[in-house]
A and B are shown apart, each in its own frame.
Chain A
Amino acid sequence: MSADLTDLGIAAIRDGVAAGTFSAREVATAFNAAVEQGRPLNAWLVETPELALAAADTADAARVSGDLKPLSGVPLGIKDLFATKGVETTAASSILKGFVPEYESTVSGKLFAAGAGMLGKLNLDQFAMGSSNETSAFGNVISPWKRNDGGNASLAPGGSSGGSSSAVSARMAPGATGTDTGGSIRQPAAFTGISGIKPTYGRCSRWGVVAFASSLDQAGPMARDVRDCAIMLEAMSGFDAKDATSLDIPVPAWEKGLSGDLKGKKVGVPKEYRVDNMPPEIEALWQQGIDFVKDAGAEIVEVSLPHTKYALPTYYIIAPAEASSNLARYDGVRYGLRDLPDGANLQQMYAATRAEGFGAEVKRRIMIGTYVLSAGFYDAYFTQAQKVRSLIVRDFEQAFAQCDVLLTPTAPSAAFGLGEKSDDPIAMYLNDVFTVPSSLAGLPAMSVPGGLDGQGLPLGLQIIGRPLDEQGVLNAALAIEERAGFTARPKVWW
């Protein structure tokens, strides 16, 4: 029985627990065992089987008393960027090793209040900076997927939410939280054959989420299908007075509103996303996606987003600038690591602590950010980037005057091997070429599995929507999901 239970997604668990088909304790027990068995994937930084069981017992009692909540009986993985009260939270960094928050992030708190349990804390790129999960201070996460070429190369699960994607894909969790700054939910979802949505900036509270780039960071769900994402997103979203950028608007009933019928809808295809050297398989996948949404009744419109090529350079000014400012708080005084060399003064303590506690990619981004914000360069770099960002936002506004959602590939390739790109930061950054523009514009965007490449690896399609139109995004993604018939899953080798 237990092996079957880990095949179930969020909706199936919720419904099964409510109907009494199985108990929440059985579900939690099955996933706890899967987490233990999956240790070779290095997806989890902290395992909390006892918390999953405690929430399950509460759910089982709630069923008896008729007090079930939207996520009663659903155990989840929580990306280790979310502060969890009483459970170590490190953002996969050495500088936060041993940090046990005295508070709960709003998003994880909402999920638990909705009845969910926690299986553990998920590994990620250090401070969410990376696209492959090779920057964690606690070792790389390994994708459960393998190429079908007979080789045994370890593949990247994507990043930064790579522990989340690996865990959901490997059936160690029915769903997990992710965060997306430039594509950190969508690219790992695409690499591992699962679904994930970054909602409109401001939908999910950032309070208690370790900050990377505050004008971009947004939490979202990662799960096996579109419905499960809708259910989880409903529980995660909502106004929070503790986050000044939180939107004070009601949360729609996204699950109830799901419909894969796109009749009367216009789907835009941005011509600038046909980048140089795009692999033919990605071209073919995109065309397949176009055929799917047409079949669902949508009309295809070619649109132009002329500033697309400037999105990555804009991102690699704004995100490091905000990161250099946000990460100034790690000074060895209030929490985290302190490195105090003999006879060091306060300034030397700061510098030694930060040298010791931050990984290479984090230092690189802090250095870039410090440079572009420094006197003499601020206007040339940062102000110019914020102006180009305005133009990127305007491009999307003009496109959405002609269509309801946009359809693009999620990433320019399938998952690459661990180590294949880690020596070249620019090659790594290019992986986010399709996800970064919508992040800069704060738009809701989702990745949904579209098919497999020649090596048997998953490829994702991305839907980008108007501000606050998560429903339109979910529905277009559902139309693709219904037609793609994606049932591939990694073979268990761990």
Chain B
Amino acid sequence: MYKWLSVLSMVVAAQAAAEPVIIPAGEYKPAVLLDETVEVVVMPAFKLDAAPVTYAQYLEFVSENEKWQRDNIAAIFHDGNYLKSWPGNEELPAGFESKAVTQVSWFAARAYCDAQSGRLPTLDEWEYASNYYLQQQNLSDKEYAQMLFARNSNPTAYSKQDVDANIEHLEYMHNRVNEWVEDYQLLLTNGDNNDLLAGSCGDSARFMADFGDASYATFFRYQSRSNYRPQSTTSTLGFRCAYDMEK
């Protein structure tokens, strides 16, 4: 009986997410100039999940929201592979409780965050938080770029590592999964016009604030994610939620 209780409490503890962390207001210089007239973005404070959403947390969500269960999701909200690795509607693949949830479409990620009274972070918020994280972790540009290219070289090896859902500081920004953001579909602009060279074989130099390793790595994240559809689900794409500061 005691044994059971302790197991139960562990499960409950694992599912209770830590409080989101506050990302303080500040200025941020995007690595990629999406609009050539804007070099510095002023960011208000906001809150962001410390870790990507885990399978256990997502299970809780689908248990309460049947229409987002694997067999019940509307066809227009996914590409056919939504939660494909789950044995059942409310059954996780074995051993996946503490991994970042993947095989979720942008629609599903938004619905999850909405249910937590949150939302997906904007691209600016996510990148601003990433800068904040790199400073906190004291990671050099070179280390950051290497981390990102290493993940892109073998994404499955990273997505299969556990995350600590109770962590109290910002974590796992670059070494678990790629993450959905609200405005993930890039609209590269040139003043008022869409950029003609966006898309295939685009030279990225026109968009770079500087030409260091870190900026190229960041640009690669922008670009590859922007080619997904909102229905796309993959085994290496997850998300975390953002929240406005209380007024």
- Tell me whether A and B are bound partners: no
| B→A interface (CB under 8 Å) | none
